[in-house]
Amino acid sequence: MPEGDTVYRTARNLDAALHGDRLSRCDVRVPALATVDLTGDTVHEVVSRGKHLLMRVGEYSIHSHLKMEGSWHLYRHGTPWRRPTFQARIVLETADWVAVGFELGVLEVVPRDREAELLAYLGPDLLGADWDAAEASRRIGERPERPVAVALADQGNLAGLGNEYVNELCFLRGLLPTRPVSEVTDVPGLVGLARRLILANRDRSERITTGNKRRGMQGWVFSRAGQPCRRCGTPIERGRLGRTDLELRITYWCPSCQT
């Protein structure tokens, strides 16, 4: 599942391949962007901001968000693609590489000076150089009535956590996903753990929250409904949380270890 660490690695890999090179082809396969052509422009850098990816090309930024199904791939010229051609939303080529964005949940091309406006709603980036734990904690505390899982997933509080991290963090801190923020005794501690956890996974191809690298043993509760808790053996439960489309998410928890 794409989360902040996935987008961070994607941006790093794209930047390593494309940085400083000119585009020899720019094919945007989205009707609203059909006239966009950045061929001949230089790729200045590719960076991540939370779960958003920004490719700065010439005077523009190609902004994408993977959502649930999206991904960026890098290929050498002539190499077969690993996903169907019809799923490609954008194809960018340089002399050495072909970068393809498949099923991107968001794709837009904006002037570079609009970047800040575009992402102004985001909270501190967990993997950013300007990470600010105190500000993230303050933002979470501004709405004490919200369930802690909803607060953690809100990108306006802190940018980078998706549903998997949120569920795993609640388990690690012994918190029911539904517990109100006002009843969380150590919000800074929870935020600090989120930072440590995503940093530990930043360079891994497979996300691990248990410390166990064995396949099938990497997570505590996420996507484990009905299976025994790795700590106490109680079956993991599954539910839905949130009252709006923006808040709605699937939650997993141990009814014994989390209160």
- Active-site hit among 3, 93, 115, 164: 3
Per the CB < 8 A criterion, the answer to whether 200 and 168 are in contact is no
Which has the closest alpha carbon to 221: 213, 211, 212, 210?
210
Query: Is 2 among the catalytic positions?
Result: yes
- Pick the catalytic residue from 31, 51, 84, 213: 51
Whole-number Cα distances in Å, 21 to 9, 75, 91, 100: 20, 15, 15, 16
Q: Is 45 a catalytic residue?
A: no
For helices 133-141 and 187-201, give the axis angle rounded to 10 degrees.
Answer: 130
Whether residue 141 contacts residue 187, with contact meaning beta carbons closer than 8 Å, is answered with yes
Catalytic residue among 2, 124, 147, 177: 2
> What three-state secondary structure class fits 136?
helix
51 as an active site residue: the answer is yes
Collect contacts of 241-244 with beta carbons under 8 A, ≥24 apart: 241/147, 241/149, 241/150, 241/177, 241/178, 242/147, 242/150
- Is residue 98 within 8 A of residue 77, CB to CB? The reply is yes
The pTM for the full model equals 0.93
One digit per residue, the tens of pLDDT, for the chain of length 259 reads 689 999 999 999 999 999 999 999 999 999 999 999 999 999 999 999 999 999 999 999 999 999 999 999 999 999 999 999 999 999 999 999 999 999 999 999 999 999 999 999 999 999 999 999 999 999 999 999 999 999 999 999 999 999 999 999 999 999 999 999 999 999 999 999 999 999 999 999 899 999 999 999 999 999 999 999 999 999 999 999 866 655 567 999 999 999 9
Query: Structural domains in the chain?
Result: 4-118 (3.20.190.10), 133-253 (1.10.8.50)
